[in-house]
Amino acid sequence: MAIPFDQHEGQIWYDGAFVPWADAKLHVLSHGLHYASAVFEGERAYGGEVFKLGEHTDRLHESARLLGFEIPYSAETINDATRELLKRGNLVDAYVRPIAWRGSEMMGVSAQHNTIHLAIAAWEWPSYFDPEQRLKGIRLDMAPYRRPDPATAPSRSKAAGLYMICTISKHEAERKGYADALMLDWRGHVAEATGANVFFTKEGRIHTPTPDCFLDGITRRTVIDLARRRGIEVVERTILPEELSGFEACFLTGTAAEVTPVSEIADFSFQVDDITRTLMTDYTAEVTPSSEARLAAAG
């Protein structure tokens, strides 16, 4: 049985100091818990270094700005703390989770004067999906909820509250035997999975939804760049659910998912094609440090 996350060992960087894992606590009346005034990042360390750490930290700051607060630590401070945290934990290949939230000085919708807290945790991280099944392609259900209209939520932020419908949708999919769920947007267009962006292939081209109401993932942009380096055309456009039957392959991208093939979405089936396999290989090469860098990270 997996160790509960509040019982891990090690240290967490919390408001400027490294504290024992078990002591990284917040009050039950913290505003971030009650009103979702919290933003976070999901980061992956390979060889002791977080892939595109600077981009993740910049997005964390931007997410906070979109929620109307300012993180009281510079990007340099956050990046240095992240690297030190990995070293202290002897973590070479790991998942890193920074989170910022409003504290407990005021309890109500308005919390203008609450302290802004920041914590960073890191731990060893296996494959997000079952490794054997991942090579065959995972199965997705259709999510019961849709990504909201940007006029109703700060969709360009990685805000905690935006993931509520993702958790509900993923749980429902898992109860049915699926690994994840495909979400549509408020217009009924294909959007993304519950925690990853989605791509399709057809006749040598890659098609992916325009991220106008969901997160334009850092891994998403990396994979688009890798495809274009290969001379593969990537088309960002509106994709309708009825088009799913015409695509040859499908894959997800994300910090946790990396590049993961999809074999089914509800009643639609896909193959794991050469484009998908190529991008899986290219992404692994892109994030894997040199042997010298890995030795240095290991100590």
Q: What is the pLDDT of residues 173-221, one digit of tens each?
A: 999 999 999 999 999 999 999 999 999 999 999 999 999 999 999 999 9
Tell me where in the chain the CATH 3.20.10.10 domain(s) lie.
131-286
Q: 258-274: per-residue pLDDT in tens? A: 999 999 999 999 999 99
First to last CA, the chain: 30
Residue 102: what pLDDT?
Answer: 98
CA distances to 43, 53, 107, 121, 208 from 60, in Å? 11, 11, 24, 15, 24
Residue 155 has pLDDT above 60, yes or no: yes
C-alpha neighbours within 13 Å on the C-beta side of residue 132: 0
Mean pLDDT of all residues in 152-174: 97
As a whole number of angstroms, the distance between CA 140 and CA 156 comes to 24
158 is catalytic: yes
Mean pLDDT of all residues in 92-105: 97
How far does Cα 268 stand from its chain's mean position? 25
The CATH architecture that domain 9-124 belongs to is 2-Layer Sandwich (3.30)
Which element (helix H / strand E) includes 55? helix 53-66
Q: Backbone phi, then psi, for 35, in 5-degree steps? A: -120, 10
Residue 126: what pLDDT?
Answer: 67
Say what percent of the chain tops pLDDT 70.
93
Please, what is the average pLDDT of the chain?
94
Q: How confident is the model at residue 137 (pLDDT cuts 50, 70, 90)?
A: very high
Mean pLDDT of all residues in 217-241: 98
Q: 41-73: per-residue pLDDT in tens? A: 999 999 999 999 999 999 999 999 999 999 999
At 279, the amino acid letter reads L
Pick the catalytic residue from 52, 87, 158, 170.
Answer: 158
The CATH class given to the 131-286 domain equals alpha beta
As a whole number of angstroms, the distance between CA 212 and CA 25 comes to 36
As a whole number of angstroms, the distance between CA 133 and CA 260 comes to 10
As a whole number of angstroms, the distance between CA 264 and CA 178 comes to 9
DSSP-assigned letter for residue 6 = G
Which segment of 87-96, 233-242, 283-292 scores lowest on mean pLDDT? 283-292
Mean pLDDT of all residues in 232-254: 98
As a whole number of angstroms, the distance between CA 209 and CA 80 comes to 35
Tell me where in the chain the CATH 3.30.470.10 domain(s) lie.
9-124
